[in-house]
Amino acid sequence: MTTTTASLSSREQEVLAGVKTDLLIGGEWRAASGGGTLPVEDPATGIEIARVADATSDDALAALDAAVRGQAALAELSPRQRSEILQKTSELITAHTDELAMLMTLELGKPLAESKGEVAYGASFFWWFAGEAVRFKGESRQSADGSGRTLVSRQPVGPSLFITPWNFPLAMGARKLAPAIAAGCPSIVKPAKLTPLTMLKLGELLLEAGLPPEAISILTATSASAISSPLLADRRLRKLSFTGSTEVGQKLVAAAADTLLRVSMELGGNAPLLVFDDADLDVAVEGAFQAKMRNGGEACTSANRILVQSGIAPAFIEKFTARMAAIKVGRGTEEGVGLGSMVDQDQVDKIGELVDDAVAKGAKVATGGERVGETGYFYAPTVLTDVPDDARLLKEEIFGPVAPIRIFETEEQAVAEANDTEYGLISYLFTTDLARGHRVAANLDSGMVGLNRGVISSSDAPFGGVKHSGYGREGGAEGIEEYLETKYLSMPF
Ligand code: NAP
């Protein structure tokens, strides 16, 4: 690969040199049919670190041809064999933690410790679905009129397309691939063009784990629609699972209507985080910090609005601001860095625009509020108070290290404000009153709620949203349902 590696350490160069940058089509590594490539940048330095193949529509259709063959190959495997492939994949991911984490940090910018956390989180989906692969059930019963037997069985949906975002380069694909393999579905993955390297490495590990080669394709591309359009129009594709923005998700749902494709949508969020007067201050500050700063705020689960009851507000703001101001900002590979770079110029510009808008309308900057340095795409950990009703960041996903704080008086007011958004992915609340905790959690309009916890994503639990945050669930026993069809067989006794 042609890269500018002058600013990279020898370990970083070694890890990058170990990634196959061609397309993976039905288990074979190939250059793009058009011969093109696209650059991958280190957002901490703005320097090109790799070039990956730029897939065309022809490559997409070749991947679908392979997936159809992959369906038959997977059908020949027993549930236990699929389970063993998943278990092996989990072990291989764990064994390659350092390499995967380094790739992730180089292409996304987050600190190495966070990247290692994502590697463990990604591996856990393969571990979890290794168990589910041998456990999904059918049913047999006497028909209601007594004339025969009703058998209900589960079958794989079929060839599946996964389109994933840049913010969790491993985990967003792992959440789809693992249940698909457990159910027996072949997969085509289109990772985000900003962060394709980690997924390409995962492709190698899946093959090493023994996945039938035809059952996996990974297509990196400049034009996402050059991949998705021909596939969504082809009746051989049976499933689309998308993680990304609501705007793109809506377009894909419309495009999938012609073939009545089964669709799962994991879309944007605008998470409220409520702190009641009776909360444990330290637990609330730490929880809010985790909920805000995981992945540098570049997460759909990121606390986008922090709503604090008036009695605890002064102490919360003081302690939370001190916690945010103490973060060391720098390249994710450096020791002790708590916040790396944002993913690109657009992202850092959008964060700056939202903060400037809030400040122009009257918000006060308690800490941060500006870009850091001239090289790379860094933005300071920021706390805003006195944020007015019409500030754009209360309605739009910030996707960065910015915490807007608002004060409320009553529970009713807090719940109404929390639900005043088109999104419904996740909400958080902090209280020591368990009755209040359950009552407020029931009234919050979101697919997930964290009670006295700032991070709740886990492979053993159903992740997903309501309203404009999409539909479908990833993880938990529910996660495999997205990849199974129900078949009913009727027979006389
Ligand atoms: P995005 O712009 O919607 O892109 C997501 C993926 O869709 C990328 O692979 C992108 O390809 C592709 N894409 C873009 N336009 C497309 C089109 N017209 N047709 C087909 N594919 C298209 O989102 P993002 O900026 O990468 O990610 C951030 C968003 O993801 C946020 O809104 C965040 O909340 C959401 N998210 C949701 C979850 C969840 O589980 N609910 C998890 C993580 C992130 P390119 O790379 O070429 O643009």
| Phi and psi at residue 15, to the nearest 5° | -65, -45
Specify the residue with its C-alpha closest to ligand 1, atom 39. 266
Rounded to the nearest angstrom, the distance between the alpha carbon of 403 and the centre of ligand 1 is: 23
Select which of 214, 266, 298, 482 is catalytic: 266
Lookup: tokens for 290: 């985790």
**Does pTM top 0.95 for this prediction?**
yes
Domains contained in the chain, CATH given: 10-267+470-489 (3.40.605.10), 271-459 (3.40.309.10)
Low-confidence ranges of the chain (pLDDT < 50): 1-5
pLDDT of residue 2: 35
Name 72's Cβ contacts closer than 8 Å, sequence gap at least 6.
none
pLDDT of residue 381: 98
Closest CA to 288 of 454, 483, 451, 124: 454
End-to-end CA distance of the chain: 65
pLDDT of residue 7: 79
pLDDT of residue 1: 33
* Cα–Cα distance measured from residue 268 to residue 271, given in angstroms and rounded to the nearest whole number: 10
Specify the residue with its C-alpha closest to ligand 1, atom 35. 244
Q: Count of CB atoms within 10 A of residue 193's CB?
A: 17
pLDDT of residue 4: 46
pLDDT of residue 6: 55
Rounded to the nearest angstrom, the distance between the alpha carbon of 48 and the centre of ligand 1 is: 22
Could you tell me whether strands 426-430 and 271-275 are parallel, antiparallel, or unpaired per DSSP bridges? parallel
**Is-contact 53 89, C-beta < 8 A?**
no
Does 185 participate in catalysis according to the annotation? no
CA 355 to chain centre: 24
Does 76 participate in catalysis according to the annotation? no
- Cα–Cα distances in Å, from 28 out to 136, 160, 328, 466? 31, 18, 43, 38
Q: In testing the pocket of ligand 1, which one of 243, 246, 354 has its CB within 8 Å of the most ligand atoms? A: 243
**Is-contact 76 85, C-beta < 8 A?**
no
Select which of 12, 132, 298, 300 is catalytic: 300
Closest CA to 185 of 86, 289, 58, 60: 86
Pocket of ligand 1 (CB under 6 A): 163-167, 172, 190, 192-194, 224-225, 228, 243-245, 248, 251-252, 266-269, 300, 397, 425, 465, 469
- Farthest CA pair distance, the chain: 77
